[in-house]
A and B are shown apart, each in its own frame.
Chain A
Amino acid sequence: MTSMPMVRRRRGRLVLRNTAVGWSFLLPNFAGFAVLTLVPVALLFYYAFTSWNVFGGAEWTGLDNFRQLSHDRSFRTALTNTVYYTVFHIPLTLVASLGLALLLNRKLRGVAFFRTVAFFPYITSIVALAQVWNMLFSPSYGPINQFLRAIGIAHPPGWTTSADWSMPAVIVVGTWREAGYYMLLFLAGLQTIPAQLYEAAKVDGANAWQRLLAVTLPGLRPTTFFVIVMLTIGSFKVFDLILVMTAGGPGQSTLVVSQYIFQKGFIENQFGYASAISIVLFAICFVITVVQFLINRRGSES
């Protein structure tokens, strides 16, 4: 009986010591992280309700920014364009990366080389890639349109010079660049599927297509979910690719939400209004991620 409080005190001291040691390890990173990331995120929710611009300080204006936002034509265009990019970029990248992964998961010669090749665009700088692709897409002399003419398309699209075709051009480059990255995630996911399942399916007489549907795809479920979440967030925040490839043009045909934030904030110095747009972007990414988590959980329970 007498030893109980002593044991407790000793355990309390141990917890205290561990807490101190643990925090001392976290602190160098956490201090930087808190000041440079958490504080700005918190400030965002204050600035968005102020009229802060280059002429005055941060004055509280309540929901004015959001009211203005709901009538803002350019914002609506930016949002529509972002959704346009997202709706095409996600399925295209998904199919391309999964296809590459399935192809490279087979025992073919030179697979290691191809894996290296496929990942390379992802680690190449966007500025250099955008220049190359803009030249490839060049309407009159570019190799892409020369190829299209050669196969009988008399009037190939104007790509980045045309309001209708600039977004497809950006989507092609975005997909081309990112497929290799998601391919690596799928390849890692494929390693986790036990070989016995394939053996069993073969014994049951399933052909390659049936094995893909019944073994591979269900086995890749967690990877696919993760990839879709990453792709969704990545698509909604698409920015530097567009900034260097088309700068939002021609006109507003490739203006996206991130770029609109940049324009309002850094070019027109309307910090309050730009923060309000930022909150919308933040909310969209947050809600979509949560919804995807809920769907995934329900799916894996059933």
Chain B
Amino acid sequence: MTTLLQPPSLEIPLRPARPPRRRRTTRVLGYAALIVAAVAILLPFYWMLMSSLKANNDVYTIPVRWLPDPVVWKNYVDIWHRSDLTTWLENTLILSIAVTFLQVLTGSFAAYGFAKVRFPGRNVLFLAYIGTIAVPWQSYMIPQFILFSKLHLSDTLWSIVALQAFGAFGVFLMKQYYESIPDELLDAARIDGMSEYGIWRRIMLPLSVPAIASLSLLTLVTTWNDYLGPLIYLRSHSLWTIQIGLKTFVNSYNAEYSLIMTGSVLSVLPIAVIFLLGQRYFVEGIATTGLKG
């Protein structure tokens, strides 16, 4: 590594620590950069929230008004009357919970098979699993749609459950975690006569709570935010999810700027709450699956 470095210039080796003034400058620059980045990232969210509390005519003004005046809380009442928000939220909630439950259950079960049971062909099979993560869903959505139609799944909530619940991602994330649990622990349980299923249920599941939390939160958010799946599969209005509903609302009331923003805030709010409560698990989930991919 050090051979790659430039030869040090003459004055540096003897110099003690950096002069404090320069350190303070870089520190200030660092904070300045952080603030600029944070503003750039947060501004759209601020605009969303602020516009949702404005009267419709006040959304676009010259110059921009950064605070709603007057504050129109009524938007948050009206949106429920003007749209089927209740139905959309209900469907989305049902789907998110069902998909998350199935993904965690089947994913952790399969991950145990991949991580802790030795049998021929295991590694090849796992490679096939992981390989499909790199295959874009967009490239096989047509044959999948035809297949789902033949199975009479399309235009039912089951189609979205089937679409999301058996992903390779969950298996991958859980396997990464299981591999960090020492085999000796399992061998001890095997000697005590515990079956493999018992080991999964009584040892692995309790030990992998952090990984389960990561996978649950990531799956929940993905299902909540999914737009394409519901767009293709859910034609009946009574089955719509929040994303499809919101998009349709935007198309039919495209001049109701503040109401559109109200709907957007309501669609983002549950995710924001979940994220703030469990952000540690999001970060860990991303870091473990990202690194070794």
Contact = CB atoms under 8 A, between A and B. Distances in A.
A26 B142 contact: no
B291 A189 contact: yes
B171 interface: yes
B86 to A, nearest CB: 18
Q: Among A25, A40, A229, which residue has the most Cβ atoms of chain B within 10 A?
A: A25
Interface size range on A against B: 35 or more
A36 B138 contact: no
Secondary structure at chain A's binding surface: helix, strand, loop or mixed?
A: helix
14 contacts: A21-B119, A25-B110, A41-B140, A100-B37, A119-B282, A127-B247, A132-B48, A132-B264, A138-B60, A184-B287, A200-B1, A214-B1, A237-B136, A286-B134
Interface string B33-72: 1100110111011011001000000011111100000000
Nearest to B26: A208
Contacts of B293: 226, 230
A33 B168 contact: yes
Given A127-B267, A176-B41, A266-B142, 18 more contacts: A15-B120, A28-B105, A32-B165, A44-B143, A108-B34, A116-B279, A128-B264, A138-B60, A141-B62, A142-B60, A185-B287, A205-B9, A214-B1, A214-B4, A215-B1, A226-B293, A239-B138, A271-B146
Contacts of A90: none
A274 B31 CA distance: 50
Contacts of A115: 283
Interface residues of B, number: 102
Given A117-B38, A218-B1, A29 B171 contact: yes
A204 interface: yes
Nearest to B147: A40
Interface of A: 15, 18-19, 21-26, 28-30, 32-33, 35-41, 43-44, 47, 100, 103-104, 106, 108, 110-111, 114-121, 123-129, 131-133, 135-136, 138, 141-143, 146, 176, 180-181, 184-185, 187-189, 192, 197, 200-201, 204-206, 208, 210, 214-215, 218, 223, 226, 229-230, 233, 236-237, 239-240, 243-244, 257-258, 261-262, 265-266, 271, 274-275, 278-279, 281-282, 285-286, 289
Q: Among B170, B221, B268, which residue has the most Cβ atoms of chain A within 10 A?
A: B268
A135 B106 CA distance: 42
A69 B196 CA distance: 53
